Amino acid sequence: MTSNSSATRGTVFLVGAGPGAPDLLTVRAARLLGEADIVFYDALVPEEILSLIKTSKKTAVGKRSGRFSTAQNFINKQLLDAARKYATVVRLKGGDPMLFGRAHEEISYLVGKGISVKVVPGVTAALAASAELGVSMTKRGQARSVAFVTPRVGEGMAESSWIRAALAADTVAIYMGADEIGDIAAALIVAGKAMATPVAVVESASLPGAGVAYGTLARLPKVEKRDGPALILVGDVYGEAAAQAMEAERCRQASA
């Protein structure tokens, strides 16, 4: 993104760790984890992926709501200091770095300081969740548009326009919303989305503990106690699977 000046020597690689399964890492990401002089990683990155890091210089700088958090300014400064000292600095982020990963803040800060930055894409959660469900987000005849949204806004940021985007797209992937699924569904219904719109929740997509639940905006998927990250998917493409799952649940309750 910029060439190194003589005062700086390192390149910072913003690397996507993917949704969690180590074999969904890109070959480039795995190579960089082995070559890095120093690695700064997010809280959502699982141990199996961290074990690919060869250097002993690895630091958790993850941001996870309600848990461990390191201020973004401090992360930026750590990356800058590392780039002035080491040739290969890896900033490892969950999923894809360019989606809800605050990549822009890190890139603009580092480039502004004359540091070379390169981005290595990763499999984003919505794609891993689609694989888990076995349902295409762009099922022919039902969906021709997809929106990746989050209702979450950072402190001091403008309100999110997620509802507008969610109404405009046929299929919607909602990041960082599972804890507020009731409010999200209510907001979509008030905005005009049909109450019968199918909804899927996928937890820990790509990981051994993955879980899937279906419902509608009016009858939300029953998500048991969650341990991992979860994504909400909304759209008619989930209609068939949701109807089957809800029928199976009705039968189960009737025979209980």
Ligand X SMILES: C[S@@+](CC[C@H](N)C(=O)[O-])C[C@H]1O[C@@H](n2cnc3c(N)ncnc32)[C@H](O)[C@@H]1O
> In terms of C-beta density within 10 A (0-12 exposed, 13-18 middle, 19 or more buried), how is residue 190 classed?
exposed
Shortest reach from residue 150's CB to ligand X, in Å: 7
**Contact residues for ligand X (CB under 6 A)?**
19-20, 44, 93-96, 99-101, 124-125, 128-129, 175-176, 202-207, 229-231
144: number of Cβ within 10 Å: 11
Shortest reach from residue 28's CB to ligand X, in Å: 16
Q: Where on the phi/psi map is residue 172: left (φ > 0), alpha (ψ -120 to 50), or beta?
A: beta
Query: Out of 37, 57, 58, 63, which one is annotated catalytic?
Result: 63
Pick 17 or 115: Cβ nearer ligand X: 17
Amino acid letter for position 196: A
Shortest reach from residue 177's CB to ligand X, in Å: 7
Give the chain's radius of gyration (CA, Å).
Answer: 20
What does DSSP say about strands 11-16 and 116-120: parallel, antiparallel, or unpaired? parallel
Pick 8 or 39: Cβ nearer ligand X: 39
176: number of Cβ within 10 Å: 17
Q: Which residue in this structure is represented by tokens 């004359």?
A: 114
Size of the chain in residues? 256
Q: Which residue in this structure is represented by tokens 């969740």?
A: 129
Shortest reach from residue 242's CB to ligand X, in Å: 18
Shortest reach from residue 8's CB to ligand X, in Å: 27
* C-beta nearest to ligand X: residue: 95
Strand locations in 177-229, DSSP E? 198-203, 211-216
- Assess whether 63 carries a catalytic annotation: yes
Amino acid letter for position 154: G
- Assess whether 42 carries a catalytic annotation: yes
The residues that are catalytic are 42, 63
